Structure 1
Amino acid sequence: MSADLEHIRQVMREADCLHTEAEVEAAIARVGAQITEVLADSNPVVFCVMNGGLIFAGKLLTHLQFPLESSYLHATRYRNQTSGGDLFWKAKPEVSFIDRDVLIIDDILDEGHTLSAIIDFCKHAGARAVHTAVLIDKDHDRKASADLKADFCGLSCVDRYVFGYGMDYKGYWRNAAGIYAVKGL
């Protein structure tokens, strides 16, 4: 185990900081203000996509200055790997959102397969409207569809394997205070 843990530590030592903690916190506050402007009167249900969305959602919720219900869902394609596979539901939403606006909060919009599947799930299950907020939008041309964009986005980043603020490297470093890119990935 110590060899694996040493590798995890080495990844952080060698990582490139793409966005500092201060930059990320400012982006979260800006996204919170934008969401408040759009959704303040809609009585939304806010879903955090676990595990990646946990830190972003927790910090973002404190900037949403209106009544809302919050819950979570857990769908993943990564399962502690560095590349995505099939969508796997660990926990579907438990709060009713029929005829209500839904806000999905996730860590990153990469290729968008997971987020797209969650949006479709909410629409087919009766949501009036589905809005999305992501901390990071990865800049590349491999999105699940050309028109898939987050309604609210904190920051963009280069097409590298990133971690921090909820995003992980092999299950680790979700707790990193900043957005980092793995050396060589």
Structure 2
Amino acid sequence: MAVGHRPARGGRRAAVVGAGRLTSVSGISGFPDAVIVADEAQVRQAYERISAELQPIVFSADCVLLGIMMGGLMPTARIASLLSGDFAMDYCQVSRYRGGLRGGALEWLQPPRIELAGRTVLLVDDIFDEGITLEYVVDACRHLGAARVVSTVLVRKRHQRMAGRSLPDLVGLTVDDRYVFGCGMDYQHRWRHLPAIYALREDV
């Protein structure tokens, strides 16, 4: 498995990973035909890099760690477990995929429930694909009065379909443009709980 580095916005660096060996969970009943893209160690290192960038912000501002459900559930929990200090947590939900493989119409399901005005929002999602969901939620947080929004994703896909949208402030891992799951990302509503990241073999 080749591992390199690519700079994220603002000079921050995200690990670049590619598909490699067969999955260690391939024997589980119902597990799709897939290969591993980033193993548990690479994912853990990505979370450690992200939390190291966020920690000074937590110490210096009134922060809300805001996860975008459902994909952001696992990344938000992992990042929260690595942060020290006093910060609030909440979630919001915007739906595009409806369990399929392709994007659909954007739908706002659950806005943030706690006050964001004057606070720093540490926004967490699982993956940055075309950036539509993240852009929507970033704009919503600003509209709700957030003093600052720091956007974070565990995974960014390597392609040019962003159509001028802003990149996330923090990126943990960069992968090739294929369907990936695990670490919050689902395949047919399943496998979000996996601690590593996998790609469908048909997309490799």
Asked whether the two chains share a fold, i.e. TM above 0.5, the reply is yes
Percent of pairs identical after alignment? 36
1:47 alignment partner in structure 2: 66
> What does the per-residue CA deviation read over 1:88-146, in whole Å, with 9 as the maximum and x for residues that have no partner?
12211001001111111000011010000001111112111111111001111011425
> What does the per-residue CA deviation read over 1:20-57, in whole Å, with 9 as the maximum and x for residues that have no partner?
01110111011101111234211111111111011111
Aligned partners of 1:112 and 1:98: how far apart in 2? 24
Deviation at 1:10, TM superposition (A): 4.6
Which stretches in structure 2 are left out of the alignment for 5+ residues? 1-28
Deviation at 1:172, TM superposition (A): 1.0
1:165 alignment partner in structure 2: 183
1:3 alignment partner in structure 2: none
Which stretches in structure 1 are left out of the alignment for 5+ residues? 1-7
Change in Cα spacing, 1:38 to 1:144, as seen in structure 2 (3 Å) is: farther
Q: Say yes or no: does 1:91 pair with 2:110.
A: yes
1:113 to 123, 126, 132: 132
Residue 46 of structure 1 aligns to a residue whose secondary structure is strand
Matches within 5 A, 1:104-183: 104-146=123-165, 148-183=166-201
2:47 alignment partner in structure 1: 28
1:58 to 77, 97, 106: 77
Aligned partners of 1:144 and 1:173: how far apart in 2? 30
User: What amino acid is the match of 1:139?
Assistant: R
Residue 133 of structure 1 aligns to a residue whose secondary structure is strand
Deviation at 1:177, TM superposition (A): 2.1
Aligned partners of 2:125 and 2:70: how far apart in 1? 9
User: What amino acid is the match of 1:9?
Assistant: G
The structure carrying a bigger helix percent of its residues is: 1
1:9 alignment partner in structure 2: 30
> What does the per-residue CA deviation read over 1:48-94, in whole Å, with 9 as the maximum and x for residues that have no partner?
11110111110110111221100000111111111111111221100
CA contact (8 A) 1:133 1:151 kept: yes
Q: Say yes or no: does 1:38 pair with 2:38.
A: no
CA contact (8 A) 1:46 1:70 kept: yes
Residue 77 of structure 2 aligns to a residue whose secondary structure is helix
User: What amino acid is the match of 2:149?
Assistant: V
CA contact (8 A) 1:35 1:152 kept: no
Residue 152 of structure 2 aligns to a residue whose secondary structure is strand
Q: List 4+ stretches of structure 1 deviating above 3 A.
A: none
Q: CA RMSD, aligned part only?
A: 1.3
